Copies of this chain bind each other. A is one copy, B any other.
Amino acid sequence: MSNRINAEKILKNRGYKLTKQRKVIIEALSNRGGPYTANEVFSLVSNKYSGINFSTIYRNLELLVKLGIVEKLNINDECCHFKLAGKNHHHHIICNKCGEIKEIDICPFKEIVNINKFKELDFQPIEHRFEIFGICSKCRSKE
């Protein structure tokens, strides 16, 4: 089942209406890699549905996050990024030159939890984030 169909099914199952706006937002995110800022989502979506409003974009991105369809990233202190939620747990590498944000399926978490130093904290972990900033291979080869 495609990401798009799956997302639409979740909306319906949970009693949300399948509006044209929601469809184009989901379509935009499904077709492309992302992540995108709300601004970028607005631009992408405006191609298919000119006249859509920014608050609709925001309201629906947050809804999709709540439903687990979309992932919200805090990469920097400017604004959030949104992308279709990956099926599997992952982290990100972010290029300081071109800004590209890419998934990596390497996760250090399991090992950390088993370290005694961590156990001593008596901290009950719920989520974690791990991001690496640097220069991507494309940008390196340009230099």
Q: Name A residues whose Cβ lies closer than 8 Å to a Cβ of B.
A: 72, 74-77, 80, 93, 95-96, 102, 104-106, 108-109, 111-112, 115, 117-118, 121-137, 140
In the bound complex, do residue A96 and residue B133 qualify as a contact, i.e. CB atoms below 8 Å apart?
no
In the bound complex, do residue B129 and residue A125 qualify as a contact, i.e. CB atoms below 8 Å apart?
no
In the bound complex, do residue B108 and residue A137 qualify as a contact, i.e. CB atoms below 8 Å apart?
no
Number of copies of this chain that the complex holds: 2
Q: Which DSSP category, helix, strand, loop or mixed, fits chain A's interface?
A: mixed
- Max chain B C-beta neighbours (<10 A), residue from A123, A126, A129, A135: A123
- Max chain B C-beta neighbours (<10 A), residue from A72, A122, A126, A129: A129
Question: Which residues of chain B come closer than 8 Å to A115, judged between CB atoms?
Answer: 106
